[in-house]
Amino acid sequence: MEPEIIVEITPAAYADIARRAVTEVEGVVGTARDPLFGIFGRFTGNYKAGGVKVKPVDGKLNLSVDVVLAHGKDIWKTLSAARDRITQRVKEMTNTDVNVEIAVKAIS
């Protein structure tokens, strides 16, 4: 009999996956970081670091990603590609379905 393997994926790990995935998309410069939320997130039960907020809701996982986009790129195509890439990477690595919301915080 093989021992049971228990795997816990932390909110920080989900945030790292999403942050790396979104920066793979052409037209995304990076994530917009909000250093104060990390402090306040402890009190609200949410996790946010590096522009990615992870929030479990009713057994599902919501990811809110704040991005900086490149000037001159099609915003809607870029955001659609970013959402698809995040969803795909999280599913590949963790077998978890996520809802992804993306907010454009700046154009660079």
pLDDT tens string for the chain (108 positions)?
788 888 888 888 999 999 999 999 999 998 887 554 444 444 445 555 678 999 988 878 999 999 999 999 999 999 999 999 999 999 999 999 999 999 999 898
Dihedral (Cα; 81, 86, 90, 95), 10-degree rounding: -40
Beta strands 98-107 and 52-57 are: unpaired
Q: Distance between alpha carbon 47 and the CA centroid of its chain, in Å?
A: 11
For the question of whether the overall pTM of this predicted structure is more than 0.95, the answer is no
Q: Are 62 and 101 in contact (CB under 8 A)?
A: yes
d(CA 75, CA 40): 30
Sketch the domain layout of the chain as residue ranges: 11-107
- For domain 11-107, give the CATH superfamily: Cation efflux protein, cytoplasmic domain (3.30.70.1350)
- Residue 59: phi, psi to the nearest 5? 80, 0
